[in-house]
Each structure stands twice: as structure tokens, then as C-alpha cells.
Amino acid sequence: MAMSVKNEKLNKWIREVADMCQPESVYVCNGTKEEYDLMMAKMIAGGSATPLKKRPGSYLFRSDPSDVARVEDRTYISTSSREEAGPTNNWVNPTELKETMKGLYKGCMKGRTMYVIPFSMGPIGSPISKIGVEISDSPYVVCNMHIMTRVSSRVMELLDAGEDFIPCLHSIGAPLAPGQEDVQWPCAPIESKYISHFPEENLIWSYGSGYGGNALLGKKCLALRIASAMARREGWMAEHMLILRLTNPEGKQYHIAAAFPSACGKTNLAMMRPTIQGWKCECIGDDIAWMKIGPDGRLYAINPENGFFGVAPGTSYDTNPMAMDTVRENVIFTNCALTDDGDVWWEGMTDEVPPHLIDWKGRDWTPHSREDAAHANARFTAPASQCPVICKDWENPNGVPIDIFIFGGRRNSVVPLVFEAYDWDHGVFLGATAASETTSANIGAVGNLRRDPFAMTPFCGYNMGDYFRHWLDMGDRLGKNAPRIFYVNWFRKSPEGMFLWPGFSDNSRVLKWMCERIDGRVEAQKTPIGFLPAEGDLDLAGLDISPEIMKELMRIDTDAWAAEIPDIRAHFAKFGNRLPERLAVQLEALRRRLE
Ligand code: SAT
Ligand code: MN
């Protein structure tokens, strides 16, 4: 099979990997529906996929309970010096890491098929797209890659014609001895999992996990970690951002890119149905934005992905009806619960809880069970084209011009609903100091506050201090064309622990204010932390919310903000002399304004 590959670098790499991993056979994927169906049929026969009677063309998978999310502790940026990877990344020198991993890769595909998956991030053949080839021994990965990226023989034709590619090697790390029976979700124990990146040579090596970003290497590994390093070298941006188009009642379009950490509502915002009269929202992407300065000097964004890998729990016809309609058919569900009539279910999907389910671990479940029926990081993998509000320009190779950047995260206190940066440098400061409570998207403690600059902590493929500088450089290049920068917090709580803001569709009210700001239609209040909406400027028509609650949502507790200063100082200190002076200046200015 591999012999029909004409790209020499690819051919050589396939042979090397096959020699090292010793698979039973090698199969080159073509991305067709037949291939997908055949692969699924095998996984159904093997017992790992459950077809869902209630959802055409859809399947449920249950992972090993140890393999349920990204593993940040086992994720490496392997640059020639530790300094290049910076203080926010795990680092091992490339020679040592490759030796360790070669030891693990040796014979790791025994008894399995080695799949070669040619894929494109971004529309095939577009000048901004990048080609990757993932080698994986997981048919589950092949099917997910079919949805999340563009897998196609057309990509192979480009490779045959000599196009370069980013090699992405993946193994679940579970060889089969002759006659050994396979398990439902083969993977390696946590201590031998490695998600490794070699940004200086555009190379990805992943071992031991079959879940999400650990295994679908086009997403976080290629489109963020490797791409962010390429973007710095080449003068563009690869960001952990949703992209949406908002249209006002007069038909004027605004394009917004927003960076929130994993499982903080990017998918919900990207597909939102505005509650404000006459406004329309369309989705372009829900997770990743690649942005370049266009010929007119503005910043243009594309979504490099082809599907959504969204968090299932909490998704419902109330919170995200467009996502619910997106996942009606042709979807892969992972770690959701199974209903008795052959559908999936998860916490928050319906008001009524089914009387009986099979939980994500495959056990009988009733409302009296102590654990959740679906895992908190259960996911759907769905084609973006199925989203009812997908924007007609979502595959436009020229991208869409970004007007607004939003940063934010989960903060149960301190941070108001919305505020605007004074200028670009202040906006970069807001991005660089963004903080959020941790979620189940990563293995580890949930609910701890951490600084997560630009929501890129787990995804920046080089020294984060240099990344801050790259943002400042981009602003200098964009000048007056730079998007305006805002900060939001949908998650502020009352002392009793209730969310103060309804969120979801009502977030459109906040976006509307941003659009009015950039159009110069509304004045704002200047405060020590930034510009806040002036009283009455946030459109609350039809919303049942008391003035007291609005006041609490917008309240700036100067003491609490002052208490952030030492924490930000410690956060900045980690970057040593890589921290741009302009950010230190911003911190000092904030301190003075709070005095
Ligand atoms: O597992 S993924 O990394 O793809 C999802 C996420 O954490 O955003
Ligand atoms: Mn993400």
C-alpha cells in the first residue's frame, strides 16, 4: 500500500515508522464514506462502537476510564533549549525525548493496522492551509479525523505533486500478541503517555492515549502548538479562538474572535441565537483561528478545522439549540450515556432524567446512582457543515476580517461581565493576565484558578514571553486596523453561589454593546480596569434581571483587583527577561490606577 505513495519524504517516513512500530499491515486512507463505514463496521463487530438507533449514522464509544481528556502533564514542547519552550511548557531535550519514545514505539503496533491519514487543515489547496499526515494505529482516530479535518485523496495528490507536510505520529501504545483479545479502548498507562512536539522541525509524536487532542493530532498539536510556532516565524497568528459573524438589523457585519479556555463556552457562543431583536449570529469556527494580515491591512481569520469536538454535558435545546441540531446525525459520541431506546444522554441535556441508562463506564445507571451518567468531558464529533447557522463564508480561503477580540474565562468573583481595553497594549495585557478556573478538559483538579494567558497555556508551542511580544508586534503592524479588545466573564456568582448572568443567547447583549463601541455609538465609563458600559447602554430589553444584580455584575471591587497585582507580578516574573517591557509598564499603570 505504502508503495503507491509518490511523495518521497512521506514514503520514507511511512517505511521508517512501519519498521519501528511493526504493524501487521499498512493502510493509506482516502477519506471516502466507504472507508469510514468500513472502519465503523469493524469497530461495531469488535464491540468498541455502538450504533445509535435514534441518530442516523451515529455511534457511541466508551473510553478507558483513565483516558478521558488531554494530559497537560504529559505534553512536551521539545526545543533545543529549555528557554525556547519557556516556563509554561514541559520540556525534555529532543534527543533524550526521541530516544525514550523510540523505545516505546518499538513494536507498539504489533497485531494492528497502521493507518496513514493525509489531511488538510483549512480548505484543500488554499494558500493558508497546511497539510498534515497522521500515522495512527487507531481506527477511532481515523473516523474522528474524517470529521475534524479534510481527509482526502486530493490531499494525497498534492503530496504526490511534491507538497510538504507535517508528520504526526500517533500510537495508542497497546500492541497485541498473537491470539490476544483486544479490549474496548486500548491505551497505555498514564506514565508512559507522551504528547510531544518538536516545533523546530514541525514534527509531532504522540504515544499512549486515544482521546481528543492527545490523539486527533490535527487539532491542538498541529493547528495550535506547531502552528503557533510557525506563525511567529512567519508573521501570522494561530489562536485558541472561536470565530463568529454578527449582523445588525441594518445588515452591517461584525466578525468576532474570542479566546476562552477549554470547556468555557466557546462552542455555545459561536452558535448563539441572539435574544436581541433583529441581530443575527453565524458560526465560522468554535475552537481555532488562523489569522493573517490581508492586502488591505486588516486581520483575516480562517477556521482550519472541519468539525466540532464539543463538550456534551450541559448542551441542550435551551443552552445551544444549534449544537443540538448539528448532532442529530453522522456524529461520533464519546463517553456519553446510552438510553434504553438507543440514543445518547448527558447531564443537562433534558430537564427530565431518563429512569434508566447505561453510563459512560458501561454500567446500569438510575437517577439514584451516585456518579454522573456521562463523563464531564464527554464529547461529540460532528461535521461543521451540519450546523444550521454555519456561515456561508466558513470555508472562504480569504477568511473574514476580524473587528473584535474577546478574552475571558471562568471567574466566580472579581471580574465584571464586560469591559473594554483602553488600547492594544492594554488589551494584550488583559490577554496575558487572563485567569480561569480549571475544567475537566484536562486530567487534573477542577475549579482551581490559574492564569491562562490568551487561553493558550496548554497550546503555545514556544516561550510564552515571546508569544506576548508577537502579539505586541502584530498590533504594531496592524496599527489603526487592529481589532478592538474586550474582556468578558459570564460566570460571576452571587455570595450564595448562583450565576448572576443568564449567559448563552443573552450574551448577544454584550456583543451588541461591543459593536456599538467600535461604531462610536456609545460612550463608556472610564474605570481603573478599562472601559465599562455606561448605565443603560447594555440592551436589557425583555430580560428579567434586577438593577441590583446588574450592579453586582458590573461592580469593580478595587480591593479585590489590588489583590490581583502580586499574583500578576509573580505570573510575569516567570518569564524573566522574555517578558516584554510594555507589559511590565501596563502592570505598573494598573497598580497606580487602583491606588
Ligand atoms: O481534547 S481537546 O483538546 O481536543 C478539547 C479541548 O480541550 O479543547
Ligand atoms: Mn479548545
CA 35 to centroid of chain Cα atoms: 27
Residue 165: its pLDDT value, please? 98
Ligand 2: centre distance to CA 219 (Å): 9
Residue 187: its pLDDT value, please? 98
Q: Which atom belonging to ligand 1 lies closest to the Cα atom of 216?
A: 4
Per the annotation, the verdict on 21 as an active-site residue is no
pLDDT grade, residue 418 (50/70/90)? very high
Q: What whole-number percentage of the chain has pLDDT above 90?
A: 98
Ligand 1: centre distance to CA 587 (Å): 31
Q: Is the pLDDT at 408 greater than 80, yes or no?
A: yes
Q: Which of 58, 136, 24 is nearest to 343 (CA)?
A: 58
Q: Which part of the chain is CATH 3.40.449.10?
A: 8-30+70-234
**Are 411 and 244 a contacting pair, CB within 8 Å?**
no
Ligand 1: centre distance to CA 480 (Å): 34
Which residue owns the Cα nearest ligand 1 atom 2?
A: 213
CB-count burial class (<10 Å; 0-12, 13-18, 19+) for 551: exposed
Task: Tally the residues of the chain.
Answer: 595
With the most atoms of ligand 1 within 8 angstroms of its CB, the residue from 67, 149, 211, 219 to mutate is 219
Residue 464: its pLDDT value, please? 98
pLDDT grade, residue 557 (50/70/90)? very high
Q: Which atom belonging to ligand 1 lies closest to the Cα atom of 219?
A: 4
Q: Which atom belonging to ligand 1 lies closest to the Cα atom of 262?
A: 8
Ligand 2: centre distance to CA 473 (Å): 25
**How far apart are the C-alpha atoms of 519 and 513, rounded to whole Å?**
10
Q: Is the pLDDT at 214 greater than 80, yes or no?
A: yes
- CATH 3.90.228.20 assigned to 238-303+394-594: yes
**How far apart are the C-alpha atoms of 420 and 556, rounded to whole Å?**
14
Per-residue cell: 434: 487572563
Task: Label residues 60-87 b or e (16+ Cβ within 10 Å = b).
Answer: bbbbbeebbbbbbebbbbbbeebebbbb
CA 2 to centroid of chain Cα atoms: 32
Ligand lying nearest the CA atom of residue 441: 1
pLDDT digits (tens, 9 = 90+) for 354-365: 999 999 999 999
Q: Is the backbone of residue 417 left (phi > 0), alpha (psi -120 to 50) or beta?
A: alpha
With the most atoms of ligand 1 within 8 angstroms of its CB, the residue from 216, 220, 225, 460 to mutate is 220
Ligand 1: centre distance to CA 586 (Å): 31
Mean pLDDT of 222-234: 98
Which residue owns the Cα nearest ligand 1 atom 6?
A: 262
SS3 of residue 417 by DSSP: coil
CATH H-level superfamily of 8-30+70-234: Phosphoenolpyruvate Carboxykinase, domain 1 (3.40.449.10)
**Are 437 and 449 a contacting pair, CB within 8 Å?**
yes
Q: Which atom belonging to ligand 1 lies closest to the Cα atom of 441?
A: 7
Which residue owns the Cα nearest ligand 1 atom 8?
A: 262
Ligand lying nearest the CA atom of residue 219: 1
Q: Which of 108, 168, 221, 264 is catalytic?
A: 264
Mean pLDDT of 538-562: 97
Ligand 2: centre distance to CA 364 (Å): 31
pLDDT grade, residue 2 (50/70/90)? very low
- What kind and span of H or E run contains 25? strand 25-28
Ligand 1: centre distance to CA 471 (Å): 23
Ligand lying nearest the CA atom of residue 456: 2
Ligand lying nearest the CA atom of residue 212: 1
Mean pLDDT of 262-290: 97
pLDDT grade, residue 4 (50/70/90)? confident
Q: Which part of the chain is CATH 3.90.228.20?
A: 238-303+394-594
Average pLDDT value over all residues in the chain: 97
Q: Which atom belonging to ligand 1 lies closest to the Cα atom of 240?
A: 8
Residue 126: its pLDDT value, please? 85
Mean pLDDT of 119-136: 94
Q: Is the pLDDT at 125 greater than 90, yes or no?
A: no
Which residue owns the Cα nearest ligand 1 atom 3?
A: 213
pLDDT digits (tens, 9 = 90+) for 148-194: 999 999 999 999 999 999 999 999 999 999 999 999 999 999 999 99
Q: Which atom belonging to ligand 1 lies closest to the Cα atom of 263?
A: 8
For 505, other C-beta atoms within 10 Å of its C-beta total 18
SS3 of residue 277 by DSSP: coil
The CATH number of 308-386 is 2.170.8.10
Which residue owns the Cα nearest ligand 1 atom 4?
A: 213
Q: Is the pLDDT at 128 greater than 90, yes or no?
A: no
User: Which residues fall within 8 angstroms of residue 564, CB to CB, at 6 or more apart?
Assistant: 414, 433
Ligand 1: centre distance to CA 98 (Å): 24
pLDDT digits (tens, 9 = 90+) for 72-116: 999 999 999 999 999 999 999 999 999 999 999 999 999 999 999
Q: Is the pLDDT at 441 greater than 50, yes or no?
A: yes
Q: Which part of the chain is CATH 2.170.8.10?
A: 308-386
Q: Which atom belonging to ligand 1 lies closest to the Cα atom of 287?
A: 8
SS3 of residue 583 by DSSP: helix
Mean pLDDT of 347-351: 98
Q: Is the pLDDT at 129 greater than 60, yes or no?
A: yes
Which DSSP state fits 257? E
Q: Which atom belonging to ligand 1 lies closest to the Cα atom of 69?
A: 1
Ligand 2: centre distance to CA 287 (Å): 5
Mean pLDDT of 490-518: 97
Ligand 2: centre distance to CA 163 (Å): 28
Mean pLDDT of 531-547: 97
DSSP 53-100: TTSTT-EEE---TT-SSB-GGGEEE--SSHHHH-TTSB---HHHHHHH
Q: Which residues line ligand 1 (CB under 6 A)?
A: 70, 212-213, 219-220, 262, 309, 441
Q: Is the pLDDT at 3 greater than 70, yes or no?
A: no
**How far apart are the C-alpha atoms of 181 and 171, rounded to whole Å?**
18
